[in-house]
Amino acid sequence: MKKIKILAGCLSILLYATACNSGNEKQAAEVKQAAVEPNKVMDVTTMDAKEFVQKAGADGIAEIDMGKLAVKNAKDKEVKSFAQTLIDEHTKVNNELKKIASKQGITMPTSAGEENATMLNNLKKKTGAEFDKAFVKHMVEGHKEMLELYEKASKELTDTELKEFAATNVKVLQNHYDKATALEAKLNATSSSKTNKNSKTNSGSMKSN
C-alpha cells in the first residue's frame, strides 16, 4: 500500500472543538495533547498500482486455469459453457491489463500464485457432480473478491488508465459472479432433489419389505 501522510495538527484542533462541544472532557484532553504535536502524522492507506496489477493479474490467471480444467472435467453442460466464457473473457481482461501495466513499467505475474494453485490442485482431485459444485463455489467466492478489488481500484487508483480499466471491467466480473451464483443455486437444487428422491425410494423399499 502507498501511504499518504496527513498532518494531524489541524485535524486535532477540529476534533478538540468537537470534543469540547460534546462535553467529553477526557476526549478533549487527549485531543488537546495531540494538538501540541503538529508534526505528528496519521497514516492513511490507498491502493497502489503495482499491488493492483499483481493481484488482479494472478487472479485472472487462476480463473483461466480453473476454466480450462472445468472445460475438460465438468459434467454439467452449463458449467462447461460458463468455464469457456471465463477463459475467453479473463484472457481478454488480462491482456488489456498487461498492456497498461507495461506502459507503467509494472511486470504482470506469470502464475496464479500459491493460494490459487492450491485451490486448483484440490479441484483436480474431484470428478463429476462433485467437481461441478466445487468449481462453481470457487467461482462465486473468487469473483466476489475480485469485484471488491476492482471496485476499490476504480475509486482509489491514481493512474487514470488503470482506474478506468478497473471501472470498465467491474461489469464483466459482476456478470461472472451473477452467472456463478445462478449455477450454484441450480446445482444445489438438483443435488437436493436427487437426495429427496433417493430417500423416498429407500423408504418405499423398506415398507415393501
160 pLDDT tier (thresholds 50, 70, 90): very high
The secondary element (H helix, E strand) that includes residue 87 is helix 77-103
Q: What is the pLDDT of residues 169-186, one digit of tens each?
A: 999 999 999 999 999 999
pLDDT at 205 over 60: no
C-alpha cell at 61: 490467471
C-alpha cell at 80: 462447461
Do 67 and 122 touch, CB atoms closer than 8 A? no
Mean pLDDT of the chain: 82
Q: What is the pTM of this model?
A: 0.71
Q: What is the pLDDT of residues 56-79, one digit of tens each?
A: 999 999 999 999 999 999 999 999
